């Protein structure tokens, strides 16, 4: 049976999703699969037997994706599993952004041991007057699982919501309230009182919030960042806060440069830090690993296309290959030359890589499988009986 290595402490619900006989431990040698949360795998050896890596969370910056892809190792994440936890944190931060709650609490702590606290509080509370979020405009950048939930919850709280996502999926659109106004990015920046960002860190999104971006934003707006710290140019955000362009910057990614700065609230990466979110992520990651190891199905992969189908025949063959012309015909020709009927075939690509799933009415010989493996464009071949 398969061996799963856990590189972080993982919720025990993951083990409940694994079939009987699977090994799931922190000391596994030559694993078939790896499950992790924040462990940095960039210097971690990738053994030849390794089939897949599952991140119990959304971000995969801690995984060497190009190296995995080159070796035919599928990398999974768990989109949406922690969405509610992050949504609830954003709602908390919207209130922290509108009201000077953190400053007020810090001030109250200085009153301990003093006389007449009640009178001091009544006299001093005027320094911490804030504003309500109802009726204000929230701009949501990125309408994936989390962004959609944030947009809908903010609408329920009486906020006007503007969304921006050039890659909005059909599923995301179907779940989004009709009251959300879609716009281009510049319009959102100009109109929003609050902005919550929910995009992955890529070369195109790194420091997307910079001096030029802040110049386009509404004076006195609030920026909330629970995605990645690197999305924001820290020097530019400091200048924006100090000048009053931003009323407040709230981030789930503290840094030495930001900690302690007035009107910057640093939360210690609490976005998915709930037992419910950890359970959801662990269970989804385990199911992804099992379905791939047992059936060759790929769901929620970041480096290979999602290809999944119920088993429907005597044998299943899966092939990772380069996304180039002629691969499908070469493989199907080899199979037909041995009188093997293909009951079902799916082939999808993602960038320069592709994944083929074939259900066959006859099991191919070991020699034929080896012949397919030797094709130049093929990275990995697996057979399921």
**What is the per-residue pLDDT across 22-62, written as a single tens digit (0 to 9) for each?**
999 999 999 999 999 999 999 999 999 999 999 999 889 89
Give the model's pLDDT for residue 124.
Answer: 95
pLDDT band of 170, cuts 50, 70, 90: confident
Side-chain-facing half-sphere of 220: CA atoms under 13 Å: 6
Residue 272's CB: how many other CB atoms inside 10 A? 26
More reliable by pLDDT, 299 or 174: 299
Per-residue pLDDT, averaged over 335-359, amounts to 96
Residue 1 pLDDT greater than 90, yes or no? no
Per the CB < 8 A criterion, the answer to whether 224 and 198 are in contact is no
Closest CA to 62 of 24, 34, 36, 29: 36
Give pTM, 2 decimals: 0.82
Strand order in the sheet with 315-322: 342-350, 353-360, 315-322, 378-384
Give the model's pLDDT for residue 186.
Answer: 97
Residue 101 pLDDT greater than 90, yes or no? yes
In b/e form, how buried is each residue of 36-63, taking b as 16+ CB within 10 angstroms? Answer: bbeeebeebeeeeebbbbbbbbbbbebb
pLDDT tens track for 239-262: 999 999 999 999 999 999 999 999
Give the model's pLDDT for residue 272.
Answer: 87
For the chain, counts of helices (H) and of strands (E): 13, 16
Q: Which two tokens stand for residue 52?
A: 């897949």
365 alpha carbon, distance to own chain's centre:
40
Residue 171 pLDDT greater than 90, yes or no? no
Percent of the residues in the chain that have a pLDDT greater than 90, as a whole number: 95
Q: Which residue has the tokens 């599928």?
A: 74
Give the model's pLDDT for residue 90.
Answer: 98
């Amino acid at each position: 049976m398969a061996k799963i290595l856990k590189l972080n402490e993982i919720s025990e619900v993951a083990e409940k999703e694994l079939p009987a006989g699977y090994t799931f431990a922190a000391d596994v040698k030559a694993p078939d699969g790896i499950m992790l949360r924040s462990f940095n795998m960039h210097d971690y050896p990738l053994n030849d037997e390794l089939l897949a890596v599952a991140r119990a969370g959304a971000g995969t910056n801690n995984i060497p994706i190009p190296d995995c892809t080159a070796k035919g190792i599928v990398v999974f994440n768990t989109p949406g599993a922690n969405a509610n936890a992050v949504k609830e944190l954003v709602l908390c931060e919207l209130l922290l952004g509108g009201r000077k709650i953190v400053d007020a609490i810090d001030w109250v702590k200085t009153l301990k041991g003093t006389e007449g606290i009640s009178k001091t509080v009544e006299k001093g509370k005027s320094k911490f007057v804030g504003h309500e979020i109802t009726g204000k405009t929230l701009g949501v950048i990125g309408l994936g699982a989390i962004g959609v939930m944030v947009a809908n919850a903010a609408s329920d709280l009486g906020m006007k919501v503007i969304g921006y996502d050039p890659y909005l999926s059909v599923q995301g659109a179907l779940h989004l309230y009709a009251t959300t106004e879609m716009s281009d990015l510049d319009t959102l920046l100009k109109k929003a009182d609050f902005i919550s960002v929910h995009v992955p860190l890529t070369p195109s999104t790194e420091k997307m919030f910079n001096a030029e971006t802040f110049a386009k934003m509404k004076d006195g707006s609030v920026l909330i960042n629970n995605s990645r710290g690197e999305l924001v140019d820290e020097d530019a955000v400091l200048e924006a806060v100090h000048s009053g362009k931003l009323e407040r910057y709230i981030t789930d990614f503290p840094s030495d440069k930001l900690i302690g700065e007035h009107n910057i609230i640093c939360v210690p990466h609490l976005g998915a830090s709930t037992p419910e979110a950890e359970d959801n992520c662990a269970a989804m990651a385990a199911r992804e690993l099992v379905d791939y190891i047992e059936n060759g199905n790929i769901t929620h992969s970041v480096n290979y296309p999602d290809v999944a189908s119920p088993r429907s025949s005597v044998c299943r063959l899966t092939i990772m290959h380069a996304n180039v012309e002629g691969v499908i015909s070469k493989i199907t020709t080899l199979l037909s030359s041995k009188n093997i009927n293909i009951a079902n075939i799916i082939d999808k690509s993602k960038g320069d890589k592709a994944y083929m799933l074939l259900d066959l009415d006859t099991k191919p010989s070991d020699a034929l499988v080896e012949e397919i493996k030797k094709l130049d464009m093929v990275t990995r071949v697996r057979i399921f009986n």
